[in-house]
A = this chain, B = another copy of it.
Amino acid sequence: MKNIKLTVAYDGTDFFGFQSQAGTGLPTIQETLEDAIYKLTGERLSVEGSGRTDTGVHAWGQAVNFHTESTIPPERWRPALIPYLPESIVVRRSEEAAPGFHARFSAKEKTYIYQFYRGETPSPFYRRFAYHVPYSLDTAAMAEATSLFEGEHDFRAFCAAGAKTKSFVREIFSCALEEEKPLLRLTVRGSGFLWHMVRIIAGTVLEAGAGKRRPEEIPVLLGLGDRTRAGVTLPPQGLILHSVEY
């Protein structure tokens, strides 16, 4: 029995999120990976992801693992799976992991990117991977607001209502904004994330850029812990799970 780890990139546009929705017929990343492995090996096994990306959210470096009886050498899983996967899911790397490795529980750090596309009109080239902002932005205010999320905080104001969690405390190691025209990228690296957390942070930062709030409000919002006071949840297409560290 081998424990195989895959690093997977996907265009989440046409999937109903990562997690399999058994019986619904809705395509998910997890099910598509499990089906590809079944077609390759005949094994019906369960793939664990580092986390569940929502409908429409993308990944560049999602990590998954599974236990297999197959004798396929670890590094050969990558090319072997290609014929069984759609072009929207790419296995970038395959390797053997320690027996106790678990994509979700072993994760130490994750990096998410939220992409804004700046242009007067939307772009057909970025519509799947960025949120279109047609109005002018104060990027200095956005950068300031962004940096104020760094550190250990109670993020309940930046978590979707109804999320089940024991603690809302998370540590953001870095939160930065960079412009790479025509994109504006918010990169957040942290120990873990609450449901919709990056999309709400991005929404709040965007409101600072639009002059609807001042950057100094961020510590206040974190202190209040009131979801209704923080920014809107931006749509999923701008969000990319960039990498997971172990």
Contacts and interface: CB of A to CB of B under 8 A. Distances in A.
Interface string A86-128: 0111111100000000000000000000000000111111010
Contact of A9 (B9, B90, B125): B125
B11 A124 contact: yes
A10 interface: yes
A58 B123 CA distance: 12
Contacts of A120: 92
A124 B78 contact: no
Interface of A: 9-11, 58, 60, 78, 87-93, 120-125, 127, 129
B129 A125 contact: yes
Contacts of A91: 121
A89 B9 contact: no
Contacts of A11: 124-125, 127
B129 A87 contact: no
A123 B9 contact: yes
Given A87-B127, A127-B87, A92 B121 contact: yes
